[in-house]
Structure formats: C-alpha cells, structure tokens
C-alpha cells in the first residue's frame, strides 16, 4: 500500500508567530506550505529562509493580498510575478532548490469579475480574466 502525504496550508505568511509554528510543525513532522505575501517576505525574509531550511514550502499569495477582481489584469500579473521573484530569491539565499511553485488567490478571489464589470455579460469578462490568470500561472510553472 502506498502512503499518502497531506500538507497543511497556512496563508498570510510570514507572520509574527511563524518561527514558533515552524518549530512546532518540525517537531511533529507535519509538512506545510506557507502561502506568503511578497510585501511581508520583504519585511521578514529571515523567517521564510528558516522555514525553507526546515523543509517547508513557500507558496505565492500575491504581493500585498489584494482582491484580484478589483485589479486590472496587468496588475494581477505583477502581483504574482513580483512575489514569485521574491520567493525564488529566498530559496537561492537559503541554498535550497525550490521544489515546486504554488499560488493561492487572496480571499479565494480568482479575479473573475471586477466591480465595474458586474453588469457586463459574464462570458466577456469573468471567464476571460480567469483564463488569462490561469494561463499566466501555468507559464510561470
């Protein structure tokens, strides 16, 4: 029988208690993916590097945690790209090969509809935006 592994996911990292959580999860052998905001990573890179060196995975949670539906599509791409570049640099600083790339939309908002487009047909706005975001994420890996 094959064993399966489940990963705990933690949003809005790094937080003030990230080091304590890293210690606890490490002691218990619980794998986790930390979905990180780029702006917070810039403020607290040491916590993220410590998590990486302890075997945890950093995921992308956008640069400053916006509602993607409120942004122009190019702003969405910039939020993702900027944070991805920060995460990549942190893995390099940690001396660890980045095992995977993952992204979680802030607030679960996949950018389908912008407030100004609510009354436009969904097929012309939301579906296209969501597809553009998915295509962009796939290109980033």
Residue 18: CATH number of its domain: 3.20.20.370
Question: pTM of the full predicted structure?
Answer: 0.88
pLDDT number for residue 123: 43
Sign of CA dihedral 88, 91, 97, 99: negative
pLDDT at 28 over 90: yes
Q: Which domain holds residue 89?
A: 8-140
Answer whether residue 2 is part of any domain. no
| CA-angle at 71, arms to 66 and 74, nearest 5° | 115
Whether 61 and 54 have beta carbons less than 8 Å apart is answered as: no
In a domain, 29, yes or no: yes
* Cα angle 125, 84, 13; round to 5: 100
User: In this structure, is residue 117 part of a structural domain?
Assistant: yes
Q: What is the pLDDT of residue 115?
A: 52
* pLDDT bracket for residue 70 (50, 70, 90): confident
Structure tokens at 25: 């999860």
Q: Does some domain include residue 3?
A: no
Buried b (16+ CB within 10 A) or exposed e, 93-111: ebeeebeeebbebbeeeeb
Under the banding of pLDDT at 50, 70 and 90, the label for residue 76 is very high
Interval 39-61 mean pLDDT: 98
111 part of a folded domain: yes
* pLDDT higher than 60, residue 79: yes
Q: Spell out the residues 6+ positions from residue 5 whose beta carbon is closer than 8 angstroms to its own.
A: 31
In a domain, 121, yes or no: yes
Terminal CA-CA length for the chain: 31
Q: What is the pLDDT of residues 107-122, one digit of tens each?
A: 988 887 655 555 454 4
């Amino acid at each position: 029988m094959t064993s399966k592994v489940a990963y705990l996911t933690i949003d809005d990292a790094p937080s003030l208690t990230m080091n304590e959580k890293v210690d606890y999860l490490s002691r218990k052998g619980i794998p986790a993916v930390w979905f990180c905001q780029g702006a917070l990573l810039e403020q607290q890179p040491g916590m993220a590097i410590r998590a990486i060196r302890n075997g945890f995975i950093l995921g992308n949670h956008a640069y400053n945690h916006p509602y993607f539906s409120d942004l122009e599509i190019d702003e969405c791409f910039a939020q993702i790209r900027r944070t991805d570049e920060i995460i990549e640099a942190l893995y390099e600083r940690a001396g660890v090969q980045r095992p995977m790339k993952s992204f979680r939309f802030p607030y679960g908002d996949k950018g389908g509809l912008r407030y100004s487009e609510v009354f436009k047909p969904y097929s012309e706005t939301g579906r296209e935006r969501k597809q553009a975001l998915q295509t962009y994420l796939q290109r980033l890996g």
